[in-house]
C-alpha cells in the first residue's frame, strides 16, 4: 500500500512538474507576444505620426494654393474625392478625441490638429470663391452636413480655431442662394447656433453671429425654420454678446439683435394681415351664404 502511495505521489509530482513547465512556456510566449505587440504598436504610431506629418504638410500646401481663385477652378474636377476624404478625416478626428482632450481648453499643436486645420482652411478658401462655393452648394452636401454635425460634438472652448474655420466655410457657402437654402433645411442649424453662441471663445461667437445674419437674409426663413428664430431666448443670447469687450463681436451682436427684432416685427405684421384677411374672408363667406339663402 505504501508503494502504491509512493507511485501515486511520484505520478502527481510528474504531472505538477509538467504543468509547471507548460505554464512557464506559456508565460514566456505571452511575454514574447506582448513584446511583439508593443513593437507593432510603436511602429504603427510611427507610421501614424509620419502620415499626420505628411498630411499636415500636404494640406498646408493646399491651403496656401487654394487662396487663388484660378487654382480652385482647376481643382473642380478632382474635388468630389477630396471632399469625401475630408469629411471622413474630420469626423474621425473629432470622434477619436478622448474625454481628457475634449475638456481641455485651447488649441493643441499636434500634427493631427495642424492637419485638420489646414484641411478645413482649404475648404474655407474653396468656398470663398464663386466656382468653389457653387460646387459645394450643389455637390458638397455630405461635407456640409458633417461640418454642422461635428460643430455640435465639439465642446465649448475646445479647438476654437478649427470651429472658426468650419463656421467660415459654412458662411462662405451661405453666400450662394442654393447653399443658404441647403444650410437652412438642416434641422440641427438652430440648435447649433444656440450652442455656439454660448462658446467661451469670442471668435467662435462672432462667426456664429455672421452665419446667423446670413440666414436671416433669406426671405422665407421663418417659413423654413418656424418660430425658433422668434424665441426670446435666442434674442437674449445675442443680447448678452452686445456687452462684449471685443468691438467686432459687440457690433455684430448689435446688428444681429436688430435683424432679429426686425424679423419679429415683420412676422407680426404678416400674421396680423393674415388674421385680417381671414376675418374678411369669413365675412365674405357669410355674406355669400346670406345672399344665397334669400
Report the chain's mean pLDDT, rounded to a whole number: 83
Contact 170, 183 (CB under 8 A): yes
Residue 204 has pLDDT above 90, yes or no: yes
User: 269 is written with which cell numbers?
Assistant: 405684421
User: Does 167 reside within a domain?
Assistant: yes
User: Does 50 reside within a domain?
Assistant: yes
- With bands split at pLDDT 50, 70 and 90, how would you rate the model's confidence at 109? low
Contact 291, 273 (CB under 8 A): no
**pLDDT recorded at residue 56:** 84
Q: Is 179 exposed, middle or buried (0-12, 13-18, 19+ CB in 10 A)?
A: buried
Range of the domain at 89: 39-293
User: Does 33 reside within a domain?
Assistant: no
- With bands split at pLDDT 50, 70 and 90, how would you rate the model's confidence at 283? very low
**pLDDT recorded at residue 238:** 93
Q: Is 203 exposed, middle or buried (0-12, 13-18, 19+ CB in 10 A)?
A: middle
Q: Reduced to 3 states, what is the DSSP secondary structure of residue 106?
A: strand
CA atoms of 200 and 186, how far apart (whole Å):
25
Instruction: Pick 1 or 271 by higher pLDDT.
Output: 1
Helix (H) or strand (E) segment spanning residue 172: helix 160-174
Residues 6 or more apart whose Cβ sits within 8 Å of residue 142: 83, 84, 87
pTM of the complete model: 0.77
Q: Reduced to 3 states, what is the DSSP secondary structure of residue 137?
A: helix
User: Does 281 reside within a domain?
Assistant: yes
Residue 187 has pLDDT above 70, yes or no: yes
Residue positions counted in the chain: 294
Cα atoms in the Cβ-side hemisphere of radius 13 Å centred on 18: 6
**pLDDT recorded at residue 130:** 93
User: Does 6 reside within a domain?
Assistant: no
The pLDDT tens digits for 8-54 are 888 888 888 888 888 989 888 998 988 888 888 888 888 878 887 88
CA atoms of 224 and 174, how far apart (whole Å):
15
Angle at 230 between CA 251 and CA 194, to 5 degrees: 65
Residue 158 forms beta bridges with which residues?
106
**C-alpha 100: how far from its chain's center?**
19
User: Does 227 reside within a domain?
Assistant: yes
Provide the domain count of the chain: 1
Q: Return the closest-CA partner of residue 198 out of 247, 163, 150, 229.
A: 163
CATH number assigned to the domain comprising residue 108: 1.25.10.10
Amino acid at each position: 500500500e505504501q508503494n502504491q502511495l509512493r507511485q501515486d505521489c511520484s505520478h502527481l509530482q510528474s504531472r505538477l512538474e509538467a504543468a509547471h513547465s507548460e505554464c512557464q512556456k506559456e508565460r514566456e510566449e505571452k511575454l514574447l507576444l506582448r513584446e511583439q505587440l508593443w513593437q507593432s504598436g510603436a511602429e504603427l504610431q510611427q507610421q501614424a505620426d509620419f502620415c499626420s506629418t505628411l498630411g499636415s504638410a500636404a494640406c498646408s500646401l493646399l491651403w496656401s494654393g487654394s487662396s487663388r481663385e484660378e487654382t480652385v477652378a482647376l481643382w473642380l474636377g478632382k474635388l468630389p474625392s477630396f471632399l469625401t476624404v475630408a469629411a471622413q478625416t474630420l469626423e474621425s478626428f473629432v470622434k477619436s478625441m478622448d474625454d481628457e482632450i475634449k475638456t481641455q481648453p485651447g488649441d493643441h499643436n499636434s500634427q493631427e490638429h495642424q492637419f485638420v486645420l489646414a484641411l478645413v482652411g482649404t475648404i474655407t478658401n474653396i468656398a470663398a470663391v464663386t466656382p468653389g462655393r457653387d460646387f459645394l452648394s450643389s455637390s458638397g452636401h455630405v461635407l456640409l452636413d458633417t461640418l454642422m454635425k461635428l460643430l455640435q460634438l465639439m465642446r465649448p472652448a475646445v479647438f476654437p480655431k478649427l470651429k472658426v474655420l468650419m463656421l467660415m466655410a459654412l458662411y462662405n457657402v451661405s453666400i450662394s442662394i442654393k447653399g443658404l437654402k441647403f444650410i437652412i433645411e438642416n434641422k440641427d442649424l438652430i440648435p447649433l447656433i444656440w450652442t455656439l453662441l454660448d462658446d467661451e471663445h469670442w471668435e467662435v461667437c462672432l462667426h456664429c453671429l455672421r452665419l446667423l445674419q446670413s440666414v436671416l437674409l433669406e426671405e422665407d426663413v421663418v417659413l423654413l425654420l418656424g418660430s425658433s428664430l422668434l424665441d426670446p431666448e435666442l434674442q437674449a443670447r445675442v443680447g448678452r454678446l452686445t456687452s462684449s469687450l471685443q468691438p467686432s463681436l459687440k457690433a455684430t451682436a448689435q446688428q444681429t439683435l436688430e435683424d432679429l427684432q426686425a424679423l419679429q416685427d415683420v412676422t407680426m405684421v404678416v400674421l396680423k394681415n393674415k388674421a385680417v384677411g381671414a376675418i374678411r374672408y369669413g365675412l365674405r363667406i357669410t355674406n355669400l351664404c346670406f345672399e344665397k339663402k334669400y
